[in-house]
Chain A
């Protein structure tokens, strides 16, 4: 039982990171019909921005984390919005899908060729000390990850539901035409979505890299998990992405312990297929009327 609790907590910690990546993915899809096949690479790159700041320019640890988040918002938010999505959005979904697939290759290869093909250790804010409560020992770093991720999610939810800008963003996501008629600056809201996605991806990156090391190929697994979490939870709901992320984090950890490490990766994929078979709108999603 204590084993199970330990696995549950560490699963929730990684799951919260997955949720961050999945929320960004869902937001992009909602507001601009962009299926971002480079989402995994978006989670891989910011850790390397921080590493570049630290190792090439000698910036201290905490400022370089902030620089990584800023850099990610510029590169994966603003530049992605205007250079890649902008010219393609009117051409339909397929060219954009292809372009983001190419972007994922570009980001992966750039990190490999310009930085390193080796996995890099990444410093952590919190020490790895174990604290034991009622027989269950949890590392401080894991609790920290969980706390940071949850605070980010709560802040985001508050922003989306509680502020004027957030509600305008939701209006844009639900119906851009009506939102525009009501005076919502739709273009700016779409840009905000891209910025939020980049910031969430950077948070996920900085939280996940101390655990799994920073490596150019990390995006493959992370991207896959972000898709699966978003779809399992419900493609059209932010809370769906949160639930999906947490669920997959926990399942992944339990599977590694109780099933087999060889097929650990398969568990979320099987879950995805089951959800598509039996509950295609996702666990928390609402059915979408067919768009005519």
Chain B
């Protein structure tokens, strides 16, 4: 797709997504919109997709493994909750979440990337558990297992976002800006370097690409996406406790990106959609949901390692060839 068509398709998708929760029957379209819970799930999907985009940058473009994305979401969420409770504006909290998680990403990635390929996975694994311990034990600041409640939704340019549809639009706006930024990065020479790196690190290095610097920046940027997603998560749920930021959810972030299609641009959105919607659909099955999900992942890895997007592309191109 050329730059112009992909931008146009993106814009059309954005308008469509903005209209999904709205009741359109007043203007003659028989569509009732979404109820409160539906809008909440849709917003949660966007927030999850932002964090998943970060994982995709790390896994799909820089070829590393991260097992701490939920911890970074947690850092952003706690920071935002604490900062806004102290009376500071949401914008400050959002920026601080992004900057802090970026800095932590650099600090973690720098030593880990000096060593073997998989050491980043182990360092992030350790970091993930450490963060969870801090969230749970430091009651004076995080509220421990009781968490922090009544986190206020912010207002945007004097426009209060208490209403769930308005908050959804706000998150949609931020998500689309962040998607655009990532799309631009991936297409820039910087992003091309990532792809070169993933395809053939040795050749990339011989072409003068500083592999370690690029990988480090990709990792830190991916972490920052997690932090900023967390900053939106706190006012969305209005309550945070340590459990969604534990090691298990971090692993699920990895799985959702690969299920969606790692290294593809749409992959994180598809993966986040499956991860957020599947438990809703399988609600009747309750505890079986994770079991089914795990089997699905294993089958996909064995037969379609390209994920959902890879599978769709393969089917579409085959059809085109016929």
Contact = CB atoms under 8 A, between A and B. Distances in A.
A37 B297 CA distance: 14
Interface in B108-150: 111-112, 114-119, 121-123, 125-127, 129-130, 133, 137
Nearest to B60: A94
Interface in A33-78: 35, 37
A170 B78 CA distance: 49
A99 B296 CA distance: 10
Contacts of A207: none
Interface stretch (A156-164, A244-252, A260-268): A260-268
Interface stretch (A7-15, A83-91, A122-130, A180-188): A83-91
A93 B305 CA distance: 11
Interface in A230-269: 231, 235, 262-263, 265-266, 269
A276 B123 contact: yes
Given A84-B298, A280-B114, A106 B125 contact: no
B241 interface: no
Given A273-B126, A276-B112, A109 B133 contact: no
Interface residues of B, number: 41
A93 B122 CA distance: 15
B295 interface: yes
Contacts of B291: 105-106, 109-110, 113
B81 interface: no
Contact of B137 (A96, A101, A112, A262): A262
The SS class assigned to the A binding surface is: helix
A103 B116 contact: no
A91 B288 CA distance: 29
Interface stretch (B89-97, B226-234, B250-258, B313-321): B250-258
Contact of B255 (A98, A109, A227, A277): A98
Nearest to B126: A269
B114 A231 contact: no
A270 B130 CA distance: 9
Interface residues of A, number: 42
A113 B122 contact: no
A228 interface: yes
A152 B141 CA distance: 47
Contacts of A103: 294, 298
A99 B297 contact: yes
Interface string B283-307: 0000110110111011001100100
Contact of B122 (A102, A272, A288): A272
A220 B293 CA distance: 19
Interface centre among A235, A266, A269 (most CB of B within 10 A): A269
A99 B65 contact: no
A231 B293 contact: no
A211 interface: no
A98 B297 contact: yes
A87 B305 CA distance: 11
Contacts of A87: 302
A45 to B, nearest CB: 14
B73 interface: no
B123 A109 contact: no
Nearest to A107: B294
B247 interface: yes
Interface in B199-255: 202, 247-248, 251, 254-255
B77 interface: no
A266 B133 contact: yes
A236 B302 CA distance: 28
B301 A99 contact: yes
Interface string A134-171: 00000000000000000000000000000000000000
Contact of B133 (A37, A96, A235, A263): A263
B130 A266 contact: yes
A104 B298 CA distance: 11
A1 interface: no
Nearest to A228: B126
Interface string B268-294: 000000000000000000011011011
A97 interface: yes
Nearest to A37: B251
Nearest to A269: B126
Given A272-B122, A272-B123, 13 more contacts: A93-B118, A96-B301, A98-B254, A102-B294, A102-B295, A102-B301, A112-B287, A220-B247, A224-B247, A276-B122, A276-B123, A280-B116, A292-B202
Interface of B: 59, 63, 65, 111-112, 114-119, 121-123, 125-127, 129-130, 133, 137, 202, 247-248, 251, 254-255, 258, 262, 287-288, 290-291, 293-295, 297-298, 301-302, 305
Interface of A: 35, 37, 84, 87-88, 91, 93-99, 101-106, 109-110, 112-113, 220, 224, 227-228, 231, 235, 262-263, 265-266, 269-270, 272-273, 276-277, 280, 288, 292
